[in-house]
Amino acid sequence: MKRITLGLAALIHAIAFAQIPPASSLRWSEVAPGVWKATVGQPESLTLLSAAGAMAPRRAALAAMPPAAFPLDQADIEGRQWAAKTAVRFPLAANEDIYGLGVDFTAMRRNGAVFELHVDHWDSRRGIAGRTHAPVPLYVSTRGFAVLFDSARYLRVSVGHGVRLAAREKPPVIDRTTGKGWQAQPRSDSIEVLAGAPGLDVYVFAGPSPLDAVRRYNLFCGGGALPPKWGLGFLTRVPTRSTAGQALADVAEFRRHGIPLDMLGLEPGWMSHAYPCSFEWDQTRFPDPKAFLAEIERQHVRVNLWFNPYLAPQTPLHAELLPYAGTHLVWNGIVPDYTMPAAQKIFVDHLKRTIVDLNPRAVGGFKLDEVDGYDRYLWPDTAVFPSGRDAEQLRQTYGLLVQRAVFEAFHRGDRRTMGQIRGTNAGASPYPFVIYNDNYEFDGYITALGNSGFAGVLWSPEVRGSNSGEDMLRRTQAVCFSPLALYNGWASQQKLWTHAAVKEHIRNAITLRLRLLPYFYNAFAQYHHQGTPVIRPMPLWEGLYAPTADDRAASGRSGPPTGAAAAGQPAVAGKLDATTNPYEIPPAAREVKDQYFFGDSLLVAPIAPNVKSRKVLLPAGRWYDFHTGRFAGENQTIEVTPPLATMPVFVRDGALIPLLAEDRQWAPAAAETVALEVRHYGDAPGRLSLYDDDGETFDYERGGFSWTQLSVEKGANGGWTGAIKPDANGQRWSYGEVKWTFMPAP
């Protein structure tokens, strides 16, 4: 009887499911070294990668990575297409942790979650899982690979949720009323993604390590962003109604207080009309923009100009772009369809001709506001656009399209830019725009900072005015160890020097930020040339967990310990099996979201305002206090109670940290030669490849850069010695005298 019933079941399934075809395996082809692509159904012409602008993959850098085989059993990956929906399933192993899938502000690990990836302003009060400024549909597996679902649609994702009837191994069936071990969320063996689209491109990025997989993703997108050196200085934003005179007075105050400043942010008031926008200088507040910009240039500062891309009627740009407008307005302004090349060109031409070219040395970038959400501000989902695309597609890509236009306006003039953006998506790695947010919750900001490392995007917390000096100080210390260090005073009368008790500490934090320019710039160079994210959340630290022999014996595994990979002996990436995972993270480390790595050597543990002490997880290897050079711990969790003056930062054993030798007020210019300090930490010998280029133009795209080899070794007398080996082929090296400091400094 049972067999008959099951046979009937199969028959009915076979007949009835005829309307929806069965899921089938995908066909994979290697499109770059260690990068495979498969297509389900008929993908749409607009995808995230195509919207981002399809910079050429950095094939040489990909080829220089360890050789890699396809990391999974291809039979375990299935796709299904019906009506206008496309579903893809990847296997999820029991020992696999999943990260990424958008810059979430509350959590890092994604196992067990169900959500919709949807570009939106993150709002912790609503907390719609998946709605964020950067819902990048890239997941990073601790088994050492990453997967991108390249669709410009809202994507519904479930990670280890939804046990399949057809699953080979199912969780135990337990009665909830009396059974032991009943689970509210039985674990499924799959990651499933649904796109409301007739098709979908899927990419797999090999490791061997999770960090390698992220590197491949960033390199495939064209390499990470390389900002100008001045973009790693400090940015202040002035109140929205500031005049040219008031803005220049703010710059003068920075100089008077000795607080470094490289960028001056002007808010909506620089425009004659905003919300919707005119993209023209306001004649009242900025009657002579050229003279204003000339003075800005004399002050060694660049302006960063706010806009949102919704165009006010009665402006020339509106008239030009009206033919490309969608069916709905945003704040009464038209929404140009920038998926159309002609519309992009009009916008880029206008930006370059009427704004950037006024003074290319003084106009440094833009702040691209409100390309993310909320729903109640942007075009409704019923909107359609002249290209034949609809609201959903434009919502998922608008930030990418506008970044691309702004980047192009600068790239054409061979000047780099550094900007801000409120909505982005996959493919954005090469764009030097840093995400921001209006929620202002410190813990969420730090979590987002970590998650940005999984997504090929840049994110920074923010400092605004506060009645609490400690609040402004702790936030300043944190932003100084993030991709963009800024004070946003657009709605505040307070200044960084308002609170006398912390003024010196704030100045010191920003001064240190600028001193560390060589280190930070090197991290960005690695991002650009090698794909390595600037900010690395804990799961991307390859030495996170060095299992002991006992650990390995207990788990019955003989795979290479993670420490080996971290020590520069990468395994060949091969097909994984379900029982071994050399990058498996111990449970206690899977959701450590309040600390992160900046670059190769610094572990940053921000202190929230009003918090006196905190725990810090120090991975395997010996770690040293950045400020004192003293030993801090090794493969352990420590408790720190830092003074107000400093934020906890730790340095790995043997690290070489390059700094500007002297305190400065702004970043070095392209032609300037400056002295370097190299600090060595710990007991191990050190090596560092230090990057340099002109720091202002795209000359690096034409080979105008160098990697200089620095090393420190212990001599026969027991003392440390530093050595420099210039780059034989290097085109640029702007450092003069080099001072070696062996920490702890005597």
Q: Are 503 and 583 in contact (CB under 8 A)?
A: no
Residues of span 572-611 touching its own copies by CB under 8 A: none
* 314 versus 729: smaller Cβ distance to its own copies: 314
- Size, binding site for its own copies by CB under 8 A: 94
> Would strands 705-714 and 686-693 be described as parallel, antiparallel, or unpaired?
antiparallel
Outline where 453-555 has alpha helix (H). Answer: 469-479, 500-515, 517-530, 549-555
Q: Which is nearer to its own copies, 112 or 609 (CB)?
A: 112
Choice between 34 and 268, CB closer to its own copies: 268
185 binds its own copies (CB under 8 A): yes
* Residues with Cβ within 8 Å of residue 622, at least 6 apart in sequence: 631, 633, 634, 652, 653, 682, 683, 684
Q: Considering only 64-72, 181-189, 483-491, 698-706, which stretch makes contact with its own copies by CB under 8 A?
A: 181-189
* Interface of this chain with its own copies, residues 200 to 229, rule: CB under 8 A: none
Stretch that binds its own copies, among 202-210, 264-272, 394-402, 738-746 (CB under 8 A): 264-272
How crowded is residue 418: how many other Cβ atoms within 10 Å of its Cβ? 28
CB contact at 8 A, 387 and 325: no
Task: Tell me how far apart the alpha carbons of residues 281 and 702 are, in angstroms, rounded to a whole number.
Answer: 35
Rounded least distance, CB 42 to its own copies, Å: 12
User: CB of residue 161 vs its own copies: minimum separation in angstroms?
Assistant: 6
Contact residue for its own copies among 55, 294, 358, 384 (CB under 8 A): 384
Q: Does 328 bind its own copies (CB under 8 A)?
A: yes
Nearest to 296 by CA among 358, 229, 226, 367: 358
**Please, which of residues 118-157 interact with its own copies by CB under 8 A?**
125-128, 156
Determine contact, residues 237/263, Cβ cutoff 8 Å: no
Q: Binding segment for its own copies among 53-61, 172-180, 199-207, 718-726 (CB under 8 A)?
A: 172-180
Residue 367 binds to its own copies (criterion: CB under 8 A):
no
Interface with its own copies includes 43 (CB under 8 A)?
no
Q: How far is CA 271 from each of CA 237, 243, 719, rounded to the nearest angstrom?
A: 15, 11, 60
| Window 300 to 319, contacts with its own copies (CB under 8 A) | 312-313, 319
**Nearest-approach distance from CB 116 to its own copies, in angstroms:** 9
From 386-394, 557-565, 621-629, 680-688, give the range in contact with its own copies by CB under 8 A: 386-394
Based on the shown chain and the rule CB under 8 A, indicate whether residue 265 belongs to the binding site for its own copies: no
> Which range, of 26-34, 67-75, 97-105, 330-338, touches its own copies by CB under 8 A?
330-338
Task: Assess 294 for contact with its own copies (CB under 8 A).
Answer: no
Considering only residues 100 to 119 of the shown chain, the ones binding its own copies according to CB under 8 A are 112-115
Residue from 75, 169, 181, 184 binding its own copies (CB under 8 A)? 184
Which amino acid is residue 477, in one-letter code?
Answer: Q
- Contact flag: residue 494 with its own copies (CB under 8 A): no
Closer residue to its own copies (CB): 128 or 554: 128
Enumerate residues 6+ apart whose C-beta is below 8 A from 309.
277, 335, 336, 338, 347, 368, 371, 398, 402
Contacts 24+ apart (CB under 8 A), 587-592: 588/617, 589/538, 589/539, 589/544, 589/545, 589/617, 590/97, 590/108, 590/109, 590/539, 591/107, 591/108, 591/109, 592/538, 592/617
Nearest one of 653, 664, 602 to 631, comparing CA atoms: 653
The only residue of 29, 75, 177, 728 in contact with its own copies, by rule CB under 8 A: 177
Give the Cα separation of 457 and 217 in Å (integer).
12
* 3-state SS assignment for residue 690: strand
Give the C-alpha distances (Å, rounded to integers) separating 409 from 428, 500, 662, 672.
16, 42, 34, 26
Q: Does 240 bind its own copies (CB under 8 A)?
A: yes
Q: Which helix (H) or strand (E) holds 291?
A: helix 289-298
- H or E, element range at 711: strand 705-714
> Least Å distance between CB 530 and its own copies?
36
Q: Which stretch binds its own copies (CB under 8 A): 98-106, 185-193, 437-445, 552-560?
A: 185-193
Binding mask 83-102 for its own copies (x = CB under 8 A): xxx-x-x-------------
Question: Is residue 187 at the binding interface for its own copies, with CB under 8 A as the rule?
Answer: no
